[in-house]
């Protein structure tokens, strides 16, 4: 497993561990701010090593940080350990990029499956998490990415919002970071997919309308089209894989409505159900959705005329 860190506009390096992956603004216990790169956390001595302005690392004690940043560091260490353990079992490449744009300071995470990494290109799926933690979300999709050959990109700070204004601002930020992702990630531009979970799925659907790209399909996990007042005027005639838990009362309540709207716009829709509620699906369901988006025909067809709420909850249903 290869792991890489890139601080765009600053430094670029390849690392053996997950350690040097965060250039951020820290809040110290006395309220002062410090812009520095996290190098290492030593849990045995409660030491934190930071590097400012690319100079030699300086160490701080955990207690030197604000309570919020102390909690962040503890979580960072836990996620790092999980990621390293997971990546030991896979043969692709993980990368973390930090890019400071005009609108925002972005962190995004990439997993390139071994087939893609070795062939220098392939399908790309950008996934929006319902929360702010892109790395945790990526961890939930590594196995499906490797088995289907789908490169996955996730981002921090694009989580759910109930504010229409914030949603539009997030779209502008994504417009800024998307060209950088396309520049960095080896991919086939004709196999560009987007998706997410819950509000992240809604963001993905809206993104295909608001940002002009040759989108090949959408992965919607527990998603919906939103409230009627914020419907788009039209939707793209592309593939949409809707992957819902059979007990996801919220997403399934709107399933009939949303499928009908998408079909009216000539979208090709697949409904894939799994045992669960409003949650990330198991790897098997992710694989089925990814493979269908990539062209697999291993889905039982169901005509729109026969489609209804009860009939929609079948594992692997394609609606034409």
What DSSP line would sit under 143-174, residue for residue? HHHHHHT-EEEEESS----S-HHHHHHHHHHH
CB distance 248 to 225 below 8 Å: no
What DSSP line would sit under 251-294, residue for residue? HHHTHHHHHHHHHHTT-EEEEEEESSSSSPPPHHHHHHHHHHHT
Q: Who has greater pLDDT, 42 or 197?
A: 197
pLDDT (mean) for 59-69: 93
Report whether pLDDT(239) > 90.
yes
pLDDT at residue 301 in the model:
42
Read off the pLDDT band of 101 (50, 70, 90): very high
pLDDT (mean) for 114-118: 79
pLDDT (mean) for 57-69: 92
Report whether pLDDT(60) > 60.
yes
CATH class entry, domain 13-83: mainly beta
Task: Determine the 3-state secondary structure of 127 from DSSP.
Answer: strand
Read off the pLDDT band of 131 (50, 70, 90): confident
Instruction: Residues 99-319: name the CATH superfamily.
Output: Alpha/Beta hydrolase fold, catalytic domain (3.40.50.1820)
Report whether pLDDT(119) > 80.
no
**Whether the domain at 13-83 and the domain at 99-319 fall into the same CATH topology:** no
Read off the pLDDT band of 55 (50, 70, 90): low
Across the chain, what does the average pLDDT equal? 84
Read off the pLDDT band of 123 (50, 70, 90): very high
Going from N- to C-terminal start, the domains of the chain cover 13-83, 99-319
CB distance 108 to 155 below 8 Å: yes
pTM of this structure: 0.76
pLDDT at residue 313 in the model:
38
User: In whole angstroms, how far apart are CA 87 and each of 42, 84, 135, 142?
Assistant: 21, 5, 13, 9
């Amino acid at each position: 497993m290869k792991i890489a860190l890139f601080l765009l506009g600053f430094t670029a390096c390849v690392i053996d561990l997950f350690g040097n992956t965060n250039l951020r603004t820290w809040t110290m216990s006395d309220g002062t701010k410090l812009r520095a790169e996290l190098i290492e956390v030593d849990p045995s001595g409660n030491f934190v090593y930071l590097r400012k302005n690319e100079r030699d690392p300086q160490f701080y004690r955990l207690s030197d940080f604000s309570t919020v940043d102390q909690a962040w560091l503890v979580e960072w260490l836990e996620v790092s350990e999980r990621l390293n353990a997971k990546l030991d079992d896979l043969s692709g490449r993980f990368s973390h990029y930090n890019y400071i744009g005009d609108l925002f300071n972005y962190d995004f995470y990439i997993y390139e499956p071994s087939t893609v990494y070795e062939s220098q290109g392939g399908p790309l799926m950008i996934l929006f998490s319902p929360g702010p933690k892109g790395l945790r979300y990526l961890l939930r999709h590594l196995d499906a990415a490797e088995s289907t050959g789908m490169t996955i990109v996730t981002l921090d700070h694009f989580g759910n919002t109930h504010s229409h204004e914030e949603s539009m601002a997030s779209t502008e930020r994504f417009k800024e970071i998307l060209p950088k992702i396309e520049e960095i990630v080896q991919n086939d531009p004709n196999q560009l997919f987007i998706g997410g979970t819950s509000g992240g799925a809604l963001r993905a659907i809206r993104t295909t309308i608001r940002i002009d790209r040759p989108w090949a399909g959408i992965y919607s996990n527990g998603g919906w089209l939103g409230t009627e007042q914020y419907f788009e005027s039209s939707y793209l005639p592309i593939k949409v894989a809707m992957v819902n838990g059979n007990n996801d009362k919220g997403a399934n309540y709107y399933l009939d409505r949303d499928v009908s709207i998408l079909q009216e716009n000539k979208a090709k829709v697949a409904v894939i159900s799994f045992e669960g509620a409003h949650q990330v699906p198991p790897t098997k369901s992710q694989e089925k959705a990814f493979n269908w988006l990539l062209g697999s025909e291993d889905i039982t067809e169901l005509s729109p005329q026969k489609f209804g709420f009860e009939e929609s909850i079948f594992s692997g249903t394609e609606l034409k």
